[in-house]
Amino acid sequence: MSPLAAVQHIYTRYRAIADDTLYLADGRPRAIFELYPPNLSLADDELLETTARHLAVVFDSLSFPTMLLFRFVAVDLEAHAAAAERAAAARGPELARAARDYAALQRHLSRTLLLLELHAYLVIGLEGASGTLLHSLLHPLWTRLFADRRRHRPDSPGAASQTELLDERGEQVALAFDAIGARPRRLDDVEIAELLYACWCPERSRREPLRIRRKAA
């Protein structure tokens, strides 16, 4: 009896990762943004309601679907501890002792607790409306801006307009979320690969991080 295929092989088929874009197996492109919203853990009810209204306005203004991905990621306390120890080497005796105590506390927390931080991502595709007002206004500018980049994309010959529209949609969404303080940032090729790896193999990705060389600028 042959074993069943792993879920990663069934549901995460993709063709390529190129030019800050994930291409699914059927060629459909996806742009992925990481969001850095303000910390609202201590916000009062009025601020929470205002933030919710702003977020609703952003989504209502979009004429195409988007997907939000939320991940809880274990905090790397060892990195904080090592940074404290490095800082201790350049300080006086009292500050150095305090930094070493802080590093010891971080390592104790790492052994006894699992601290998680929230990461939010926004995924954009080409499904939905075929054009927007922004598309018609800025089409000539983006055509020139992305002319060189499109030559390197793993799309079919007639897909240049699709990849151009994805960039335009990404720019529209980035501007909208930046206006409400979410500070979106589009993931590059390496970050997309690391995100896929971490989502489907969280334990292994912590033990065996990817070794990917970034291209020189």
Measure Cα distances from 203 to 8, 43, 197, 209, 210 in Å.
15, 33, 10, 10, 13
Q: Is 138 exposed, middle or buried (0-12, 13-18, 19+ CB in 10 A)?
A: middle
Tokens coding 55 = 């977020």
Which residues in the chain show pLDDT less than 70? 1-12, 129-160, 213-217
Give the model's pLDDT for residue 46: 92
> Could you tell me the two tokens for 161?
């307009």
Strand partners, 34: 121, 185
Q: Residue 19, by phi and psi: left (phi above 0), alpha (psi -120 to 50) or beta?
A: left
* Separation of alpha carbons 117 and 73, rounded Å: 5
- For residue 154, what pLDDT is reported? 56
pLDDT of residue 40: 84
Tell me the one-letter amino acid at 45: D
pLDDT value for 132: 45
SS3 of the chain: helix, strand, coil, percent, to 5: 50, 15, 30
Q: How far apart, in whole angstroms, are the C-alpha atoms of residue 3 and residue 37?
A: 43
Q: What is the pLDDT of residues 1-45, one digit of tens each?
A: 566 666 555 666 788 998 899 999 888 999 999 999 888 888 899
The DSSP annotation for 186-201 comes to: E--HHHHHHHHHHHH-
